[in-house]
């Protein structure tokens, strides 16, 4: 092939290729429904243009090679060369067709929801290794009784009966009177010498000289009084006479049935009232009950050594009384004088009254 003809052929091919490329760019990129295509549209068109260009270039190269190697090609200057581009065909999209811009999604779409319920695999429980039989400890089951034991109902014990006093002698540390109590000095004519206000003050009020209304004597008595129990009742007595009162109480309690009943050999006796310390004048020996008057002689009750029992049944001056012999004998056994024996000293009978005389008459 002459070099001139080849030069012309190459020039035509270059021009044809440039025309095709410009046509593709103008048609696919700048000709469309929107002057300002979205970037996704532009990118899609660019990909299509690239594929079309590569396909066209391949077809052009193939046609040129066939044209060059063909034996029928005769170089004629007067021959009008038909561009090979006219013979090129693209079976998908024509070069001069208005290629529609591919529709690209503007936003990612959610994945489709499956119409069938997914199959949830069944969990297979882990296989537990068998425990060796050599280390299994079998619990020991106790032998069950063949018969149920017979439970016998518990009998309710009968109520405890109050024991009947046996009248057995009670051991008391306090000394008893030796001999007949009625022959003691506090029952004879000499008792008038130890039964005076001055003797009461000497023994139980520290020998003080009385002031007006015996105020200082009363103050000493209030500080010397202690509490104890006699015949189930709480009383107040002088602390020096306390051992004698406790000896009487302990002896009489052997006849006690309940809090107020005593069963003596002579009779059953009910204790209603018991009274001891009260700072007052002697009812039988005084002409007045005014402690500030010269006619007042202080009572043994004012010193915590006198006690009265059941006032109404054993009233002062009453010849009929119900004081049990066991009570009066017990008091006299421990150095007391009973008002029921006052006629022995020429005084009014007072069966409710008892007074401690041993300490007053000792040494007189």
Residues 53 and 187 in one domain: no
Full domain range(s) for residue 57: 3-65
Select the more confidently predicted residue: 57 or 256.
256
The answer as to whether 317 is a domain residue is yes
Is pLDDT at 127 greater than 70 in this prediction? no
Residues 6+ apart with CB under 8 A from 1: 68, 73, 75
Q: What is the DSSP letter of 137?
A: -
Note whether residue 101 is domain-resident. no
- Judge if 59 and 187 occupy the same domain: no
157 C-beta neighbours (distance < 10 Å), count: 6
Mean pLDDT is lowest, of 126-130, 166-170, 304-308, for 126-130
Residues whose CB falls within 8 Å of the CB of residue 211, separated by 6 or more in sequence, listed in order? none
Q: Using a CB cutoff of 8 Å and minimum separation of 24, what contacts does 170-174 make? A: 170/250, 170/251, 170/253, 170/254, 172/247, 172/250, 172/251, 172/334, 173/247, 174/243, 174/244, 174/246, 174/247, 174/334
In a domain, 174, yes or no: no
Q: At what angle do helices 39-69 and 3-25 cross, to 10 degrees?
A: 160
| 195: in domain | yes
Domain boundary among 65, 98, 119: 65
For residue 302, being part of any structural domain is answered with yes
pLDDT of 20: 76
The mean pLDDT of 246-263, rounded to a whole number, is 96
Average pLDDT over residues 305-310: 98
Average pLDDT over residues 355-363: 92
Question: Alpha-carbon dihedral of residues 5, 6, 7, 13, nearest 10 degrees?
Answer: 110
336 with 190, same domain?
A: yes
Q: What is the reported pTM?
A: 0.56
The verdict on residue 74 lying in a domain is no
Answer with the residue of higher pLDDT: 139 or 159.
Answer: 159
Q: What pLDDT, in 10s, does the model give residues 1-35?
A: 566 777 778 888 888 777 777 766 666 555 444 44
Choosing from 20, 38, 65, the residue where a domain stops is 65
Residue 243: count of CB within 10 angstroms of its CB: 14
Q: Rounded to 5 degrees, what angle do the CA atoms 97, 23, 14 make?
A: 130
**According to the model, what pLDDT value does residue 95 have?**
37
Task: Give the pLDDT confidence score for residue 154 in this predicted structure.
Answer: 67
The answer to whether residue 54 sits within a structural domain is yes
My answer on whether 57 and 191 are in the same domain is no
Query: What distance in Å separates the CA atoms of residue 308 and residue 276, rounded to the nearest whole number?
Result: 6
Q: How confident is the model at residue 41 (pLDDT cuts 50, 70, 90)?
A: low
What is the enclosing helix (H) or strand (E) of 346? none
From CA 329, how far away is CA 18, in angstroms rounded?
163
* Same domain flag for 49 and 196: no
188 and 60 in a common domain: no
Domain boundary among 47, 65, 83: 65
Q: Based on the structure, what is the number of domains in the chain?
A: 2
246 vs 243: CA distance, rounded Å: 5
Which of these, 285, 310, 287, 311, lies nearest to 299 by C-alpha position? 285
| 24 within domain boundaries | yes
Q: Which tens digits make up the pLDDT trace of 147-191?
A: 565 656 666 666 655 555 555 567 788 999 999 999 999 998 778
Predicted confidence at residue 252, as pLDDT, reads 97
CATH number at residue 225: 3.30.1380
pLDDT digits (tens, 9 = 90+) for 44-99: 666 777 777 777 767 666 666 666 666 444 444 444 444 444 333 434 444 334 44
Provide the pLDDT confidence category of residue 197 given band limits of 50, 70 and 90.
very high
Express each pLDDT in 102-121 by its tens digit: 444 455 555 555 455 545 54
According to DSSP, the β-strands at 274-275 and 336-338 are unpaired
Q: What is the percentage of the chain residues whose pLDDT exceeds 90?
A: 47
């Amino acid at each position: 092939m002459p070099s001139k003809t080849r030069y012309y052929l190459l020039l035509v091919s270059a021009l044809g290729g440039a025309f095709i490329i410009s046509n593709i760019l103008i048609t696919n990129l700048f000709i469309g429904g929107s002057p300002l295509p979205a970037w996704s549209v532009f990118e899609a068109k660019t990909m299509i243009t690239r594929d079309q260009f590569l396909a066209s270039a391949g077809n052009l190269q193939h046609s040129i090679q066939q044209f060059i190697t063909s034996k029928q090609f005769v170089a004629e200057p007067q021959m009008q060369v038909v561009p090979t581009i006219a013979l090129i065909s693209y079976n998908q999209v024509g070069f001069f067709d208005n290629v529609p811009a591919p529709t690209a999604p503007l936003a990612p779409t959610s994945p489709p929801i499956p119409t069938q319920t997914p199959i949830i695999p069944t969990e297979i429980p882990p296989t537990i290794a068998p425990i060796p039989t050599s280390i299994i400890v079998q619990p020991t089951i106790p032998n069950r009784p063949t018969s149920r034991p017979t439970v016998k109902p518990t009998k309710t014990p009968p109520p405890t009966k109050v024991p009947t006093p046996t009248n057995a002698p009670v051991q008391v540390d306090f000394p008893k009177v030796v001999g007949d109590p009625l022959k003691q000095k506090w029952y004879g004519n000499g008792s008038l010498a130890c039964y005076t206000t001055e003797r009461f003050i000497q023994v139980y009020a520290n020998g003080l000289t009385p002031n007006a209304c015996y105020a200082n004597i009363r103050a000493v008595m209030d500080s010397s009084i202690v509490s104890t129990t006699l015949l189930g009742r709480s009383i107040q007595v002088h602390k020096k006479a306390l051992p004698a009162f406790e000896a009487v109480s302990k002896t009489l309690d052997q006849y006690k049935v309940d809090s107020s009943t005593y069963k003596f050999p002579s009779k059953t006796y009910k204790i209603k009232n018991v009274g001891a310390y009260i700072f007052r004048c002697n009812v039988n020996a005084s002409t007045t009950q005014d402690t500030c008057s010269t006619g007042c002689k202080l009572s043994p009750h004012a010193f915590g050594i006198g006690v009265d029992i059941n006032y109404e049944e054993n009233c002062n001056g009453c010849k009929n009384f119900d004081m049990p012999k066991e009570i009066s004998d017990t008091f006299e056994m421990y150095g007391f004088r009973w008002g029921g024996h006052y006629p022995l000293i020429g005084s009014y009978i007072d069966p409710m009254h008892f007074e401690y005389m041993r300490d007053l008459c000792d040494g007189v």
